[in-house]
Amino acid sequence: MSDEELEAVIADRFKAYEAGTHLPDEFKGRFIGSVRRKRALRRIWMLGLICATAVASVVIVNFAKPNAIREDAKPVLMAHIAPTNETTIVSYWMLLGYLRECFSRSRSARRKEEE
């Protein structure tokens, strides 16, 4: 038996086997539903992870913030004089704004993707 004849016999057997097999009728609906559920669970998990990261970063920055009282400032209702000591402190609002900018796409990038 040559290679071509052997391939023809194997192909005929596969065609006969394939003709007798099929998926159940409700398989398509179940498959689509399971894919949608997994996608929704993945999105919920990622949203939870992002929220947990944001909360953890805010808590870390808030605890790291120095609570030093300036000695040159007197408690008044309105500040008439600008503070003399300049400090660079990262606030948690600035950190949240930075994280928002990191995860959001710019409008020009969206327009380029649409075109």
Per-residue pLDDT of 86-110, as tens digits, reads 656 666 677 777 777 777 766 666 6
List alpha helices for 21-106, DSSP H.
27-64, 92-103
Looking up tokens 């949240």 gives 96
What residues have CB less than 8 Å from 57, skipping those under 6 apart? Answer: 92, 95, 96, 99
Lowest mean per-residue pLDDT among 53-67, 70-84, 85-99? 70-84
Global confidence as pTM: 0.42
Per-residue pLDDT of 1-21, as tens digits, reads 788 888 999 998 888 888 777
